[in-house]
Amino acid sequence: MKTQKRHGRQARNTIQDERHANAWQPDERIPRLTSHLSQYIPHTLALLAFLLRALNITGESLWRDEIDTVRFSFTALSEMLGNLARNGFNGPLYHLLMRAWLSLAGVNDFALRYFSLLCGVAEIVLVFALARRLFGRRTALLATWFAAIAPVLIWYSGEGKMYTLQPALIVLALYALRRAVESRPWRLKIAALRTGRYWRFSAPISNLQSLNPWWAVFIVAVSLGYYVHLLTPLFLAVAAAFFLLWWLQSRYHIKGALLAVVLCTLPYVPMAVWQLPTFLAGTNTGHTFYPLSVTLFSLLYNWSLGLSEQLPPGAPAGYTWLAILAFAGIAVIGLAGSAVTLGAPANSTPHSRQNAVVTKEHIAPMHAFSSAVGVFMWLMLPMCLVFVISTRAPVFEPRYVLWSAPALYILMGAGLAWLLTHVSAFARVLFVLVSMVSLWGTAAQMLYPIRPDVSGAARYVAAHMQPDDLFMFQIPYTRYGFEYYLPMYAPALPVDPEPRPDDGLRTLQGLRERIVDAPYTNHGATTDDVNSQLLPMMFRQQRIWLVEVEASMWDERDLVRAWYDENMQQVERRELRGVTVTLYEITWKTSCFLPHVSVGEATPER
């Protein structure tokens, strides 16, 4: 009886060891699904990612950064080429690409954002390929699911900026790096010695591989990334961390790595010429400096809940913190699970460990652990480097390190895959809850728009404006949004035949001359200062439109609106999402400010 019990315990332990070892195997399959059906899951996830991103692609107006994409994409070609080395200019290569794209697809909201959508879907496909290479199919499918429904990735796939192209290039670079360092054939024999808990590997240096094309893919992806976003050079630290963590294989590719370092450094030189002095001297960049804890919270909030601050109906107290802790906790399990799995292969004996040849099956646990640590470095290192840079020149915005977000979803996929192997029921419940959080974040971004409705404001003004009306924009940068949208809603009015070389926009003829500058009052300006600036321009025309978008950035005390309300006749005011449009007319009361203007001249015709 005791012998039977002992054999039973040994059998159970053997089964558990096999499940434990197979949790990280590259060739595992999804349980309870046939091979025929499971092969279509990645395609289904890619289609889902496309649909979620296309669903609301034109649901909101372009915001000022997207208008800049149009402006910078159609400036003079000589100026665009000069931007490649211009101090502080972000994304010159992206604007060159958008120039070609918009010339083919047309200049409109859909075409502008559809390019980002395509890059966003490509990023999801690359996340699957990378995660499968690192941790296996189960982890890859889970990571791809989390990335496909991530509200922050969906949001930026619907924005005409470089925040899907840059992450896609970085994921591609990591995939190429992995393919480059693992190209050494597994059939080569590696002597393995077990000392304590760790494996030591040795092989003759003569087994060095020749250069392979994946190094070229890595170099091209990184070099293009430099000129798509100015913080891409920080990725080199992440790539170096992965290379060192994969040392068991990467040490046979020193030649390729040194060549990659040289060829990735040369394209960075024009940027380093101005970036390094800017960092050393310390510069006021216009961004706010945030403590590291605030930076971490901001990123985790965006990557788990999205950009909307709307909570789901009936959300419990502390919903935000519970969601963030759930996402972070699963990622930590992904890292810890790989460490727990690290050890001797199942069913090995001390004698066999000293004389065995290491195969894929043997090295999988150690590879999973080193890859998990590398993905964790990918998650944390960019944030820390941006914080260090910000101590001299603040540059932090959550979207600037969006290329680290895939690391969170890959670690979450690894953590959930580990939980499915050990505590399946709990893992399934956790998967459903976390997915519901992401899906609500995606829905909230569609149901509760965030961007100011500049398009709606331009439509309203186009329906009511007269040929000689003046325009004042608060903040002044809003003018470019109106210059972009007004020709769409006033098709009967003449438009510039070609984009203006200084700002790249085609707008209504003569509109530029009828825009007056709004005074900046946040430096302590008084009502007398505002009066002295606004009074001379009052009698240029009898009607003026005051358009306020994020006006507190320019006039937090509303001195300009108060002056117009007091001294001019308010004809109509329209409140839209994030935009206030007011039409004013000169009345007999305001004509007395200038002695040489008679009441009859100043009173508008009725």
The pLDDT of residue 130 is: 96
Average pLDDT for 158-186: 90
Instruction: Check pLDDT > 60 for residue 24.
Output: no
The pLDDT of residue 590 is: 52
Three-state secondary structure string covering 241-284: HHHHHCHHHHHHHHHHHHHHHHHHHHHHHHHHHHHHHHHHHCCC
Q: How distant, in Å, are the alpha carbons of 89, 90, 95, 484 from that of 504?
A: 16, 17, 11, 10
Q: Residue 392 in contact with residue 424, Cβ under 8 Å? A: no
Q: How distant, in Å, are the alpha carbons of 132, 310, 317 from that of 313?
A: 36, 9, 12
- When pLDDT is cut at 50, 70 and 90, the band that residue 342 belongs to is low
Q: What is the pLDDT of residues 86-127, one digit of tens each?
A: 887 888 999 999 999 999 999 999 999 999 999 999 999 999
Instruction: Check pLDDT > 60 for residue 353.
Output: no
Q: Which residues contact 264 (CB under 8 A, 6 or more apart)?
A: 219, 222, 223, 236
Tell whether the torsion through CA atoms of 33, 39, 43 and 46 is positive or negative: positive
- When pLDDT is cut at 50, 70 and 90, the band that residue 207 belongs to is very low
Alpha-carbon gap, residue 606 to 604, rounded angstroms: 6
Alpha-carbon gap, residue 271 to 180, rounded angstroms: 27
What is the CA 34 to chain-centroid distance, rounded?
Answer: 36
Range name among 72-86, 184-198, 429-443, 558-572 with the lowest pLDDT average:
184-198
The pLDDT of residue 363 is: 54
Average pLDDT for 476-497: 89
User: Which of the 8 DSSP states describes residue 574?
Assistant: E
Mean pLDDT of the residues in the chain = 83
Range name among 8-17, 243-252, 310-319 with the lowest pLDDT average:
8-17
The tokens describing 355, both together, are 């004389």
Q: What percent of the chain has pLDDT over 70?
A: 81
Peptide bond into 586 cis (omega under 30): no
The pLDDT of residue 122 is: 97
Instruction: Check pLDDT > 60 for residue 26.
Output: no
Q: Which residue has the tokens 């080429």?
A: 81
The pLDDT of residue 38 is: 74
The pLDDT of residue 9 is: 52
The pLDDT of residue 504 is: 77
The tokens describing 422, both together, are 């050990």
Q: Residue 457 in contact with residue 529, Cβ under 8 Å? A: no
Alpha-helical runs (H) found in 282-422: 292-305, 319-341, 350-355, 360-390, 405-422
User: Which of the 8 DSSP states describes residue 557?
Assistant: T
The pLDDT of residue 35 is: 59
Instruction: Check pLDDT > 50 for residue 15.
Output: no
Alpha-carbon gap, residue 162 to 93, rounded angstroms: 10
Closest CA to 222 of 255, 175, 184: 175
Q: What is the pLDDT of residues 553-579, one digit of tens each?
A: 999 999 999 999 988 889 999 999 999
Domain boundaries, given as residue ranges, for the chain: 2-445, 454-602
Beta strands in 475-596 (DSSP E): 515-516, 543-549, 569-576, 579-585
Q: What is the pLDDT of residues 377-421, one digit of tens each?
A: 999 999 999 999 999 889 999 999 999 999 999 999 999 999 999
Instruction: Check pLDDT > 60 for residue 463.
Output: yes
Average pLDDT for 482-497: 89
- When pLDDT is cut at 50, 70 and 90, the band that residue 509 belongs to is confident
Q: In this structure, are strands 543-549 and 470-474 parallel, antiparallel, or unpaired?
A: parallel
Closest CA to 229 of 303, 296, 174, 163: 163
pTM confidence score:
0.85
Q: Which residue has the tokens 């649909």?
A: 51
Range name among 276-290, 369-383, 450-464, 564-578 with the lowest pLDDT average:
276-290
Angle subtended at Cα 367 by Cα 363 and Cα 370, rounded to the nearest 5 degrees = 145
Range name among 341-345, 423-427, 477-481 with the lowest pLDDT average:
341-345
Alpha-carbon gap, residue 234 to 272, rounded angstroms: 12
The pLDDT of residue 81 is: 85
The pLDDT of residue 66 is: 95
What is the CA 69 to chain-centroid distance, rounded?
Answer: 16
Instruction: Check pLDDT > 80 for residue 364.
Output: no
3-state SS class at 516 = strand
Q: How distant, in Å, are the alpha carbons of 106, 154, 402, 403, 405 from that of 303?
A: 32, 11, 8, 11, 6
Q: Which has more confidence, 419 or 203?
A: 419
Alpha-carbon gap, residue 429 to 447, rounded angstroms: 27
Phi, psi angle pair for 150, to nearest 5°: -65, 120
Which secondary structure element, helix H or strand E, spans residue 125, and what is its range? helix 109-135
The pLDDT of residue 32 is: 53
Q: How distant, in Å, are the alpha carbons of 168, 184, 289, 416, 471 from that of 179?
A: 17, 10, 38, 25, 57
The pLDDT of residue 210 is: 53
- When pLDDT is cut at 50, 70 and 90, the band that residue 524 belongs to is confident
The pLDDT of residue 513 is: 86
Angle subtended at Cα 179 by Cα 176 and Cα 183, rounded to the nearest 5 degrees = 145
Q: What is the pLDDT of residues 231-262, one digit of tens each?
A: 999 999 999 999 999 998 888 889 889 999 99
